Amino acid sequence: MVRWGMVIDLDKCTACQACVVACQVENNVPPADPTIDAQYRAIHWLRLLEYREGEYPHVRTRLIPRPCMHCDKPPCVKVCPVGATNIGSEGIVDQIYGRCIGCRYCTTACPYTVKYMNWYRPRWPEEMKKAFNPDVTIRPKGVVEKCTFCSHRLIKARERVRAEARELGPGDYIPACVETCPSNAMYFGDLENPNGTVFQLARSHRAFKLLEDLGTEPKVIYLSEGE
Amino acid sequence: MMGINRRDFLTALGVAGGGSALAFGPQVGLKVFQTLWGEDWVEVPTGLETRINSICQQCPGGCGITVRLVGDRAVKIDGNPFYPINRGGLCPKGQSGLQSLYDPDRIRGPLKRVGERGAGKWESISWDDAIKTVITKLQEIREKKETHTIAIMAGETRGLMQALLERFLLAFGSPNYIRVSDDLAAGPLDAFYLMQGLKEGLVYDLEQANYILSFGCDLLQSFWSPVQVLRAFGYIRRERGSRARVIQIEPRQSITATKADEWIPINPGTEGALALGIAHLMIREGLHDENFIWNNAFGFEDWIDDSRISHQGFKGLVLKEYSPGIVSSITGVPVDVIIRLAREFATTKPAVAIGLRGDVPSQMAVHALNALVGSIDSPGGVLVARDIPVPELPPIEPDEISQKGAQMPHIAQPAKEKYLLADYLPHTFLERASTGEPYKLEALFLYQTNPIFSSFNPEGVAGALDKIPFIVSFSSFMDESSQQADLILPDHTYLERWQDDPVYNLKGYPIIGLRRPVVSPLYDTRHTGDVIIQLARGLGGSLAQAFPGKDFPETLQYYFQKLFEQGRGDLVGQEFEEAWSKLLARGGWRSPSYQTAEEFWQRLQEKGGWWEPIYYYGEGERVFKTPSQRFEFYSQILKERVGVLAEERLKAIGVQVRGDKLFLPHWEAVKPPESNEEQYPFILNIYQPLVFAGLINASQPFLQGITSPAPLERWDCWIEINPELAKKLGISYGDQVWVESPRGKLSFRAKLVEGAMPEVVNIPLGVGHKALGRWAKNIGKNPLLIVEGHLEPLTGRPLINTTRVKIYRA
Ligand code: SF4
């Protein structure tokens, strides 16, 4: 069985945030504005985290792109009273907007704070609606949304390979963030395929996961900086 | 969109027909229904899905893009995997490009000013009337035989568009093409000129370097071609065999410093001194590349000229004046660190030193390090990009009036004795425009530039513009400068127009990208190239004949036809194709992937561009255009320019050093004469974050949304100060703080960061617009307003980071 996962090599990452914007464009995330942002209600399925350690001049800053971890043991799924948050057979943690009642248990349960409540009705100027990605729905006010590993791309990739009468191969399905990464710091693929890049990278001595101790078993794996 | 049913939605989603809707039923189905339940009736684009290759223009970087279209709508921009600048990657600006195309505040058609200048009262007019207005004005000027009184100010423009603008001026009879470029993004171009005799083509072969020593160049954020550097960074870290080391020397812990192996904080403005300290140690320990210096350099040792006068060389000067102890006290960098850097730099080859376009002696000091390690014109070092072929346009035959006009002095050319190394300067232009000396300007055209925002002195610029009776802006957006125009003839955005994009990559290869419309123009805008041609035709005579095509696209095809005829290079291709064409070229062969000009044009559109992927090392006359035809530690170009200047002149332009030292890399404190350290104890350090480098993207909300990881800081501007300092001054995180320079004060939100030196106040540049649409106007502040704008004594270019400030709670 396929298990989709992502590897982010922090040694190659330049913190440019192209992934952040690519995600918003791909997934029809409405642009924030000063008010929404100041209320901490802006939506970023993928965002950059900043950690600073030490004191001048021995300062270490870590900049970490953070998508949904697509945990194998997702705490958000456990707390959802209506089965809106679920985990698919290939490991993608998804949000079924139609079931979501906006209770926000999951936003609280997620230790990585990847879940975003739509506090407002999403709004775009009329002109910008032209850029909507038809593959991704618009979320109404009152539901929670999150990174899906661009699962709509998986659906399309399956369609395509079926039409071409072949199996899904590496590179057929890549989320928007990985596709744009200018320094090739992000990798995506099947964590179970021993010949694949992510399988091998996930076993690197530099590999670590965020808040691993919590037992969430994330499928986003980071590679640490330095030699 | 009424009457839509589930099936329509599924068709739009591209999942109807097959069984896949079932396979992924729950998610897709419900997502669709959810939209139906919601209050938002969203018009989902329908139609065939296609992809078109073009070139990004959110910055001058020149990345190839692939735009995904559904029907006639552009819905996503990605990198073109074939394109050699970016190989499929894009930066956040490239990603947010659709917010420029679909910006609700775009100018939708030609506008004529009705109220006072700058009052923002406009009236729509037709293109015919607009063009007639300009023609009438230009005819009047011509009748008065004052053709030289028109000028075009253009931003980062290149290729055919620049050629057409210059051609228009020449044929009309004016010398006044003023290019405004971004100095923060350029490398040490003045040193490149003084030491190698070249004005352009400076590239760093990062992909093959093993040691990158950056003197304040925020490579990962504000380099002129960001994705190239980002891609190279990923490559040298992990993709090739050995991992390159990156050392960042600068007063602020920038993103580059964060991502480097080591950040070396340094007193602001002393980077050049550190470079000389490193040079001192390398020479003292015999670590310099004697071979390179013997064969390719001039002025390293002391020397005797033709008239038997002996001169000091670089070696003598550096050994005498820049011992580690002295350098350490200037720079604040500990002696042991200087020693370590020198040894690492000299022994981890190939090594490369990258600087900024700051004061000239410091630029030279940094660039000299490359010669010391033999990293000039060698893999992993400084390369000189090969010429991009310039397809010829037919000759112009200006009549007598035009010839006379074109020979008038350039309006922006400063007096020779004022700045020795300046051809023309935007700020000289503005001074001249306001004084009316040596002549008054009658008309100004603004193309892809917004001088009011990008200048230190917006009131000054506005005042100068005020003196020009007729201003035309070609901007697609209502920026600060366009607000002062009399007529706006809006251009298409880059996603709606044809254009060539000549650029070189970090390997020094010439590349010409093809920008083509991915959607038809949304509004009643017009390609500025077309407008220029229409103006020329309307004016008639020799002007009309100066333009070979009836419109821009035709001229562009003509241009590529000529490129085809030159028989060079090939269409851009993948990396293995690069290796293949290199192999062929070495054997003197060429096997382009097209036979005829038609095929070339056709496939050019599919692939996205042309290139010639080869670099020849050791072409001495190409890489050293100095009098000695060598790398000049001792700049004879500078000596010749200074030449006859009398003592008092040197004093007047603020050059303190005398004798041979003046022509050698050296360090002198760039201290503004009036600086008062007691009253203004801190140094203002302005930096350009990636998203706003180039100063044109602030109107795009996705970019405003990522200026800082902290939501409270976004949509605003902040100062970064050291927490200890903040404590002393009683400032806490988020406080409003006054930053006051002798020129004025502005308040900013305080951000306390450990990566700030205690004596430095850092402020990002890019927000603080007074125009440019709903997401930019009145968001944040523009720190340039308190910068003193001291001018580099030799080049006359403003030095951005020499201002002293004080800070206190607001
Ligand atoms: S680097 Fe410049 S050209 Fe490349 S994607 Fe970014 S904005 Fe566009």
- Among A111-125, B412-426, B476-490, where is mean pLDDT lowest? B412-426
pLDDT in tens, B713-724: 899 999 999 999
Task: Select the residue from A11, A13, A28, A56 to test the B interface by mutation, using most B Cβ atoms within 10 A.
Answer: A56
CA angle B190, B193, B196 (to 5 degrees): 135
Question: Which one is predicted more confidently, A145 or B586?
Answer: A145
The structure tokens 């423009």 sit at B157
- B468 touches ligand 1 (CB under 6 Å): no
Check residue B777 and report its DSSP letter.
B
Q: Which residue has the tokens 């490579």?
A: B219
Q: What is the pLDDT of residue B457?
A: 86
CA distance B37 to B9: 13
Q: Are residues B253 and A40, on separate chains, in Cβ contact within 8 Å?
A: no
Interatomic CA distance for residues B204 and B210, integer angstroms: 12
- Ligand 1 pocket residue status of B703, Cβ below 6 Å: no
* pLDDT classification of A13: cutoffs 50, 70, 90: very high
CB of B90 shorter than 6 A to ligand 1: yes
A224 CB near a chain B CB, below 8 Å? no
For residues B34 and B295, which has the higher predicted lDDT (pLDDT)?
B295
Residues of A in contact with B15 (CB under 8 A): 155-156, 159
Listed in sequence order, the residues at least 6 apart from B398 whose beta carbon sits closer than 8 Å to its beta carbon are B170, B171, B173, B406, B542
pLDDT tens digits, one per residue of B520-530: 999 999 999 99
Of the listed ranges A146-160, B184-198, B487-501, the one predicted with least confidence: B184-198
Question: How far is it, in rounded angstroms, from Cα B456 to Cα B788?
Answer: 8
In this structure, which residue's CA is closest to atom 8 in ligand 1?
Answer: B94
Give the Cα separation of B800 and B805 in Å (integer). 13
Nearest CA to ligand 1 atom 5: B94
Chain B residues inside the 8 Å CB shell of A150 = none
Residue B3's pLDDT is what?
33
**B350 touches ligand 1 (CB under 6 Å):** no
pLDDT for the residue numbered B532: 98
Residue B19 has pLDDT above 60, yes or no: no
Q: What is the pLDDT of residue B21?
A: 29
B559-575 tens-digit pLDDT:
999 999 999 999 998 87
**Interchain CB distance below 8 Å, B92 and A21:** yes
- Hey, which residues 491-510 in chain B have their CB within 8 Å of chain A? none
CA of B769 to the centre of ligand 1 (A): 22
Do the Cβ atoms of B76 and A184 come within 8 Å?
Answer: no
The predicted structure's pLDDT at residue A46 = 97
Contact A32/B701, CB-based, under 8 Å? yes
> Which residues does chain B have within 8 Å of residue A141's beta carbon, measured at their own beta carbons?
39
Ligand 1 atom with minimal separation from the B227 CA: 1
Q: Which atom of ligand 1 is nearest to the CA of B93?
A: 7
Q: What is the pLDDT of residue B37?
A: 43
- The average confidence (pLDDT) of chain A is 95
Q: Do B98 and A94 touch (CB under 8 A)?
A: no
Chain B residues in contact with A20 (beta carbon < 8 A): 92, 706
Q: Is the CB of B59 under 6 A from ligand 1?
A: yes
pLDDT digits (tens, 9 = 90+) for B386-445: 999 988 888 999 999 999 999 999 998 887 667 888 878 887 888 888 888 889 999 999
Contact: A133, B76; criterion CB under 8 Å: yes
Which among B409, B283, B412, B271 is positioned nearest to B345, based on CA atoms?
B283
B231 in ligand 1 pocket by Cβ < 6 Å? no
Task: Mean pLDDT check: name the lowest of A34-38, B4-8, B177-181.
Answer: B4-8
Report percent pLDDT > 90 for chain A: 86
Instruction: Extract the runs of DSSP E, i.e. beta strands, from B280-342.
Output: 297-298, 303-304, 310-311
Taking 90 as the threshold, does the pLDDT of residue B185 lie above it? no
Q: Give yes or no for a contact between B547 and B97, defined as CB atoms under 8 angstroms apart.
A: no
Interface of A with B in 2-41 (CB under 8 A): 9, 11-18, 20-22, 24-26, 31-34, 37-38, 40
B184 falls in which pLDDT band (50, 70, 90)? low
Cβ B86–A96 below 8 Å, yes or no? Answer: no
Q: If you measure from the C-alpha of residue B185 to the centroid of ligand 1, how many angstroms do you get, rounded to a whole number?
A: 13
Residue B25 in this model has a pLDDT that exceeds 60: no
Tell me whether A145 touches chain B (CB under 8 Å): no
Instruction: Using the atom order of ligand 1, give the atom closest to the CA of residue B92.
Output: 6
pLDDT at B36: 43
pLDDT score of B187: 87
Q: Which of B23, B91, B755 is opposite residue A59, by nearest beta carbon?
A: B755
Global confidence as pTM: 0.94
B534-571: burial string, b at 16+ Cβ within 10 Å, e else = bbbbbbeebbebbbebebbbebbebbbebbbeeebbbb
Model confidence at B32: pLDDT above 60: no
Question: Residues B309-368: pLDDT tens digits?
Answer: 999 999 999 999 999 999 999 999 999 999 999 999 999 999 999 999 999 999 999 999
Q: How is B55-101 classified by DSSP, letter by letter?
A: E--SSTT--EEEEEEETTEEEEEEE-TT-TTTTT---HHHHTTHHHH
Residue B61 Cβ inside 6 Å of ligand 1? The answer reads yes
pLDDT tier at B675 (50, 70, 90 boundaries)?
low
* B17 has a pLDDT exceeding 60: no
Bridge partner residues of B514 (DSSP): B500
pLDDT of residue B28: 37
Tens-place pLDDT, residues B491-534: 999 999 999 999 999 999 999 999 999 999 999 999 999 999 99
Cβ-Cβ contacts under 8 Å for B21 (sequence gap 6 or more): B10, B15, B28, B29
Give the domains, in start order, of chain B with CATH numbers. 1-35 (no CATH), 111-183+391-491+526-556 (3.40.50.740), 202-384 (3.40.228.10), 682-809 (2.40.40.20)
- Does the pLDDT value for residue B139 go beyond 80? yes
B63 CB less than 6 Å from ligand 1?
yes
Cβ contact A155–B24 (<8 Å) = yes
Domains and CATH numbers, chain A: 4-223 (3.30.70.20)
A31 and B104 within 8 Å at the Cβ level: the answer is no
Scan residues 748-767 of B and list those with Cβ closer than 8 Å to A. 753-758
**Cα B341 from Cα A130, distance rounded (Å):** 53
At residue B694, the pLDDT reads 82
Residue B617 forms contact with A (CB below 8 Å): no
CB of B87 closer than 6 A to ligand 1?
A: no
pLDDT band at B452 (very low <50, low <70, confident <90, very high): very high
Q: Which of B329-338, B426-435, B602-611, B612-621 has the lowest mean pLDDT?
A: B426-435
Interface of B with A in 771-810 (CB under 8 A): 775, 779
Chain A interface, best mutation among B754, B757, B769, by max A CB count within 10 A: B754
Q: Say yes or no: A102 contacts chain B, CB-CB below 8 A.
A: no
Inform me whether the pLDDT recorded for B191 exceeds 70: yes
Interchain pair A20, B74: CB under 8 A: no
Report how far ligand 1's centroid is from the alpha carbon of B644 (Å). 45
In chain B, the percentage of residues whose pLDDT exceeds 70 is 93
pLDDT of B648-667, one tens digit each? 777 877 788 888 999 999 99
Residue A79 pLDDT level (bands cut at 50, 70, 90) = very high
Indicate if ligand 1 lies below 6 Å from the C-beta of B62.
yes
Does residue B99 have a pLDDT over 60? yes
More confident site: B541 or B90: B90
Any idea which of A62-66, B5-9, B607-611 has the lowest mean pLDDT? B5-9
Helix B552-566 and helix B528-539, axial crossing angle in degrees, nearest 10? 100
CB atoms within 10 A of CB B300: 25
Q: Which residues contact B390 (CB under 8 A, 6 or more apart)?
A: B163
**Whole-angstrom distance, CA of residue B733 vs CA of residue B719:** 10
Higher local confidence (pLDDT), B635 or B584: B635
For residue B714, list chain A residues with Cβ-Cβ distance below 8 A.
32, 34, 37
Are the C-beta atoms of B155 and B449 separated by less than 8 Å?
Answer: yes
CA distance A128 to chain B (A): 5
What average pLDDT is seen over chain B? 90
The predicted structure's pLDDT at residue B583: 73
Higher pLDDT residue, B793 or A16? A16
Say what the pLDDT of residue B646 is.
66
Select from A183, A200, A201 the residue whose CB has the most chain B CBs within 10 Å, as the one to mutate to test that interface: A183
Give B-chain residues touching A151 at CB under 8 angstroms.
24, 27
- CA B326, B331, B336, B337 dihedral sign is negative
**Strands (E) located in B281-387:** 297-298, 303-304, 310-311, 351-354, 382-384
The enclosing H or E element of B169 equals helix B159-172
Shortest CA distance to B48 belongs to which of B70, B26, B18? Answer: B70
| pLDDT for B674 | 63
pLDDT for A4 equals 98
- A83 close contact with B: CB closer than 8 A: no
Contact B701 A134 (CB under 8 A): no
Q: Write the pLDDT tens digit of every residue in B539-554.
A: 998 899 999 889 999 9
Q: How far is the CA of B133 from the centre of ligand 1 (A)?
A: 36
ipTM: 0.97
Bridge partners of residue A43, in order along the sequence: none
Q: What is the pLDDT of residue B4?
A: 35
